[in-house]
Structure 1
């Protein structure tokens, strides 16, 4: 079994739920299966832990800490220029979402372009697609993002073929919609990747209770927008009621 090196590019501050799909990869290792007290036949199909590595990469460099939205600082293990994470050294590059519309530094964008050019499997979650968009690696490709900013994505990156799906892929580039759609995307990626045996993927997804929800949303975009309008209206009406109560 060949080594597997996954890089997680952190453009702070990120949401931890965007980062959470990385755990599906980590759960596919023999150490994790042993910790679960699985029988030897199942441990044998898992990834050898010695051949598995995750690097957390940021412009700030190793041994720095990147903030996240729930005020948990993430320890960075590699900088953009570290030899171990240069193009050709990573098999998968995962980008969790920073604030919508945030344009990363040029060094970060060049890092993404270099890896895509070297043939990495690029996976973005939620607003992580902005990083790929600013890097220019989505031009002419199908991609998706969280529904709340699809209009912004279309205006900012008009050369991208935007689709309204939980996740989609165009060749080696995978993009996920809203926050938890990252789980759906990674589940589908693992099922399609030759790196992961089918029984191994089934076991990991069963442990994590990740369901195969498919690419298509159950509710259309119009229904989704209508729900938000109704939710905002309820908040407005409720706010008026609370205001009157205070005045009384």
Structure 2
């Protein structure tokens, strides 16, 4: 692939910061990659962690990306009916070589009509709702379906970015980046997903139910908009 490799990331209020900053750290080391952080304006964008991130460009001024990247967070659901954002995603995806997301960023891809009939993943608490937007929910950490790569919740973003690096530059380059970043996870507990032996099943089921109650209606409205397209 010719350089520079333009990575266009969508930034929005209440983004989960690690969804964005984990892959961004990998992109910063990826050979030839140039990250463009696009938002409504150049004002600081508040994250879910209590600090803000500065965009580098606006939605209108963003260059065409080779990679379209959408992180997640509760702000994704606040944008499911925001036509300027959805139009931006459709416009970028039409020419991008890779269309990607982390966590609930896949819901924005779905609301833009970009996941119809494709396998995709998201955070486990929301994954069951993704089918309503035409996707095939797939409970895997990183899912590739053609040019679309989606990752599960939060920390899976680093896995996704290394997977994308391998797709573009080969396994050896991805392995070198993994080493440079000392990405050698050794969590203290085996409780990182509902299927893991140390996970609190009661908490997981309560979270899934709460997500359905809180987000189900807006996902249904987004799905209805797709049906009307």
Shorter-chain TM-score bucket reads 0.7 to 0.9
Name the SS for the 1:209 alignment partner.
coil
CA contact under 8 A between 1:65 and 1:74: conserved in structure 2? yes
Q: Which residue, 8, 22, 25 being the options, matches 1:23?
A: 25
Task: From the superposition, tell whether residues 95 and 232 of structure 1 become closer, same or farther in structure 2 (CA, over 3 Å).
Answer: closer
Task: From the superposition, tell whether residues 218 and 16 of structure 1 become closer, same or farther in structure 2 (CA, over 3 Å).
Answer: closer
CA contact under 8 A between 2:65 and 2:96: conserved in structure 1? no
Aligned pairs for 1:207-246 (under 5 A) are 207-211=180-184, 227-229=200-202
- Is 1:55 the counterpart of 2:28? The answer is no
Offset from partner CA, 1:71-118 (integer Å, 9 cap, x none): 111111211111x42xxx211111111306332521110111112111
What's the offset of the Cα at 1:222? Answer: 5.3
How many residues are treated as equivalent by the alignment? 199
Q: Which residue, 110, 123, 134 being the options, matches 2:87?
A: 110
Task: From the superposition, tell whether residues 225 and 172 of structure 1 become closer, same or farther in structure 2 (CA, over 3 Å).
Answer: farther
Aligned pairs for 1:19-98 (under 5 A) are 19=20, 20-28=22-30, 47=31, 52-59=33-40, 61=41, 63-82=42-61, 84-85=62-63, 89-98=64-73
CA contact under 8 A between 1:184 and 1:212: conserved in structure 2? no
Say which is worse superposed, 142-151 or 204-213, in terms of deviation: 204-213
In 2: Cα distance, 1:128 partner to 1:136 partner: 13
Task: From the superposition, tell whether residues 169 and 218 of structure 1 become closer, same or farther in structure 2 (CA, over 3 Å).
Answer: farther
TM-score for the superposition, normalised by structure 2? 0.76
Name the SS for the 1:21 alignment partner.
helix
Name the SS for the 1:6 alignment partner.
strand
Give 1 or 2 for the bigger CA radius of gyration.
1
CA contact under 8 A between 1:3 and 1:52: conserved in structure 2? yes
- The residue number in structure 1 matching 2:157 is 182
Task: From the superposition, tell whether residues 212 and 199 of structure 1 become closer, same or farther in structure 2 (CA, over 3 Å).
Answer: farther
- Is 1:101 the counterpart of 2:80? The answer is no
- Is 1:166 the counterpart of 2:141? The answer is yes
- The residue number in structure 1 matching 2:11 is 10
In 2: Cα distance, 1:106 partner to 1:119 partner: 20
Offset from partner CA, 1:177-204 (integer Å, 9 cap, x none): 11111111111121122xx254332211
**Over aligned residue pairs, what C-alpha RMSD do you find?**
2.9
In 2: Cα distance, 1:192 partner to 1:109 partner: 26
CA contact under 8 A between 1:104 and 1:131: conserved in structure 2? no
Task: From the superposition, tell whether residues 56 and 228 of structure 1 become closer, same or farther in structure 2 (CA, over 3 Å).
Answer: same
Name the SS for the 2:180 alignment partner.
helix
What's the offset of the Cα at 1:2? Answer: 2.2
Structure 1 gap segments, 5+ residues each: 29-46, 234-248
